[in-house]
Amino acid sequence: MTRSDRHLDISSFDDPRLRTLTIGVQMVGNLMNTPPAHALARRGIVENVRGYMLYGDYSRPNPPAEIIDAVAREEIDLAAVWGPLAGYFAAKQRGTLALTPVSPAWDGPQSPMVFDISMAIRKGDTALKHDIDAALDRDREAIDVLLAAYQVPRLPTPGETGGHTER
């Protein structure tokens, strides 16, 4: 995520500009780094990285939005942010932020940058699986409308074209 007026269009952790720009990454705990933090560290990009807790002070509104607000206020140049949070909170900034998917989707064997939204059921509960599959098929349009309403960024399916999204 960057400010639209900066026209940075960075989509790879190998972009040489990342060595000089201030980068925000989400953090999930004391010793838990997110995949973008690991990707930057593997490249030796650590001095210009700022961490923002995913779980924050919930006595204040929207603590996970702090990283998005920091980009909008130009406190940091860009942020590697989980897509659903980025899309939802960026939409509230009225066109000042651009979302660009990171490529490739995997940075090393254990660092996914893209996560599917999924559900699970108890092993062997075929009736429930059937009901869920039927509901997903039946309500696909309504689900798409809901994801769009919350500005959840979605990668193009094979055959579609994609790129960054202005929010």
pLDDT per residue rounded down to tens, the chain (167 residues): 999 999 998 989 999 999 999 999 998 876 678 899 989 999 999 999 999 988 877 888 888 899 999 999 999 999 999 888 899 998 888 778 999 888 788 887 777 888 777 888 999 999 999 999 999 999 999 999 999 998 888 876 655 554 444 44
Predicted model pTM: 0.79
SS3 98: strand
- The single-letter DSSP state of residue 27 is E
d(CA 45, CA 5): 24
Whole-angstrom CA distances from 80 to 48, 54, 86, 120, 140 are: 13, 12, 9, 27, 29
What is the sign, positive or negative, of the torsion defined by CA atoms of 103, 107, 109, 111? negative
Q: Rounded CA gap, 161 and 53, in Å?
A: 33
Res 158: pLDDT: 59
